[in-house]
Amino acid sequence: MTHNSSVIILDYGSQYTQLIARRVREAGVYSEIHPCTISATELKAFSPSALILSGGPASVSAADAPGLAPEILTWGVPVLGICYGMQLMASTEGGQVVPAQDREYGRAELFISQDCALWNGISRTDGLKVWMSHGDKVIATPPGFAVLARTSRVAVAAMADVERKLYALQFHPEVVHTEDGDVILRNFLFRIAGLKPTWNMAAFLEENVTALSRKLGKQDQVICALSGGVDSTVVALMLHKAIGGRLHCVLVDTGLLRLNEGEEIVAYLRQHFELNLNYVQAQDLFLSRLRGVVDPEQKRKIIGHTFIEVFEQEARKIPGIKYLAQGTLYPDVIESVSFKGPSAVIKSHHNVGGLPEKMNLELIEPLRELFKDEVRKVALELGLPDFIVWRHPFPGPALAIRVLGEVTRERLDILRQADKIVHNELMASGWYAKVWQGFAVLLPLKTVGVMGDERTYEHVIALRIVDSVDAMTADWSRVPSEILAKMSNRIINEVRGVNRVVLDISSKPPSTIEWE
């Protein structure tokens, strides 16, 4: 952690832990999540400016309940316990926690019984709407703690030892359903912990570019795979600022990209930045390897292996290459369900599969502290245009998993044209920015139609347009029918070989966003 002041969130397994980190960052304070199993010594080494104990599904009375080293509460570092974090603070300090009669879940009204800095500027002290989700409850505060608020069902809905800056809330201030939740969190950060809102993307950029140029010395050469998406472009531009011509970017035209996609991004980057950029033409290789392949998993494997092969060839051409830069984001890094401890699964990183080990390259991941929307803010700081900043996510195997069945040049061309129309109509109607992803899929079947007086027997295009916040779940977007009609008419009239367009109205789960 390179930041002057930062908040560490100890994760006890709440579904809201990431949300706490985001809210703190939105307030302008850097925050990091660490598993609750971190030792007090390790934690101290970070010199956190404040701590937040997250919620979690456990009960403090359970034998294997995740705990809190009591010494942490003696450091003088301000601590905010939320939900399970509150119960843990209470039991660690000698208060009494018991199972609630029944699990309280949902809205509650908060009645404030004692004024304190936490409540500064909230809109009401009687009946503040808060979000609860708990099984246990605190029935007696520890010595030195005062009750700050209650609800109709819990006598201790908030408590504090103001002197020692230990605060705790039974409700979740991080969720939008809690009225003035952001005010309460900011009060903890600014009024209680005395932090300053200095974390922003301009500061991030400056700090990290300097750190990169220091780390990379005067000789080191770095290679970076560009995809045309916002993450890899931001990584490349940060490194370019740090080491200039010692950054070597590679963009591979796999023949599976969208219409003119590679050309547009290369032209833009070459025109605006003096990037060392190698646009590698490998369409024939990819298409020959994919010939006759219809199984989605096999397609993915072939594309992944071929990509590594091409990228490795390019990397070997650069003498003294030492580092591989890539756009790993924070959600990829965080240990999920970390209250179970370090043995819990860590999400695998999407690096250029196995290449770093094979070529003995060290990884550089300048975005590993950031969420996607923060990367977009950095992109704006770097002056990148909207078409890169707001580009929809695009899968690694590209159009190969949207051409269902065999991937041929002819079928890719049909899909590319249809996809361009979907893209253009989403843009023209202002819907591009409203949806998570919108694209066309070429189905592996033909249907009968009639054009003029002639019977046709041609391809079917499906429209897949979805809303999502993180791609884990998604719902089909309710795009107005006039826009869908325009897409359908244009595709059937303008794309030779298509005589039918259908709309995908399935949610994820049980479907997925992509069709393969």
**Catalytic residue flag (residue 514):** no
**Catalytic residue flag (residue 83):** yes
Figure out which of the listed residues 191, 349, 486, 508 binds ligand XMP, where binding follows CB under 6 A. Answer: 508
Least spacing, CB of residue 298 vs ligand XMP, in Å:
13
* Contact between 283 and 253 (Cβ < 8 Å): yes
CA of residue 166 relative to chain centroid, distance: 31
Choices 188-196, 215-223, 240-248, 394-402 (CB under 6 A): range interacting with ligand XMP: 394-402
> Whats the size of the chain, residue-wise?
516
Least spacing, CB of residue 463 vs ligand XMP, in Å:
15
- What is the three-class DSSP state of 79? strand
- What is the three-class DSSP state of 272? helix
∠345-346-348 over CA atoms, to 5°?
120
Q: Which of residues 441-480 bind ligand XMP (CB under 6 A)?
A: 471
> In the complex with ligand XMP, which residue's Cβ is closer, 262 or 397?
397
Q: Which of residues 143-202 bind ligand XMP (CB under 6 A)?
A: none
* Contact between 217 and 243 (Cβ < 8 Å): no
Q: In angstroms, rounded to a whole number, what is the distance separating the alpha carbons of residues 134 and 172?
A: 10
Choices 199-207, 256-264, 328-336, 391-399 (CB under 6 A): range interacting with ligand XMP: 391-399
Q: Which of 32, 36, 83, 134 is catalytic?
A: 83
The type of residue at 217 is: G
Residue 351, φ and ψ in degrees, nearest 5: -85, 170
**396 touches ligand XMP by CB under 6 A:** yes
Q: In angstroms, rounded to a whole number, what is the distance separating the alpha carbons of residues 150 and 170?
A: 9
H or E stretch covering 81:
strand 79-82
**Catalytic residue flag (residue 174):** yes
> In the complex with ligand XMP, which residue's Cβ is closer, 124 or 347?
347
CA atoms within 13 A on the CB side of 309: 11
For the CA atoms of 481, 487, 490, 492, the dihedral, rounded to the nearest 10 degrees, stands at -90
**395 touches ligand XMP by CB under 6 A:** yes
> In the complex with ligand XMP, which residue's Cβ is closer, 153 or 508?
508
Q: Which of residues 330-389 bind ligand XMP (CB under 6 A)?
A: none
CA atoms within 13 A on the CB side of 414: 24
**Interface map 251-290 toward ligand XMP (x if CB under 6 A):** ----------------------------------------
Q: In angstroms, rounded to a whole number, what is the distance separating the alpha carbons of residues 258 and 416?
A: 6
Least spacing, CB of residue 457 vs ligand XMP, in Å:
30
Choices 48-56, 88-96, 306-314, 395-403 (CB under 6 A): range interacting with ligand XMP: 395-403
> In the complex with ligand XMP, which residue's Cβ is closer, 107 or 508?
508
Catalytically active residues are: 83, 172, 174
Residues that bind ligand XMP (CB under 6 A): 300, 393, 395-397, 437, 471, 508, 512-514
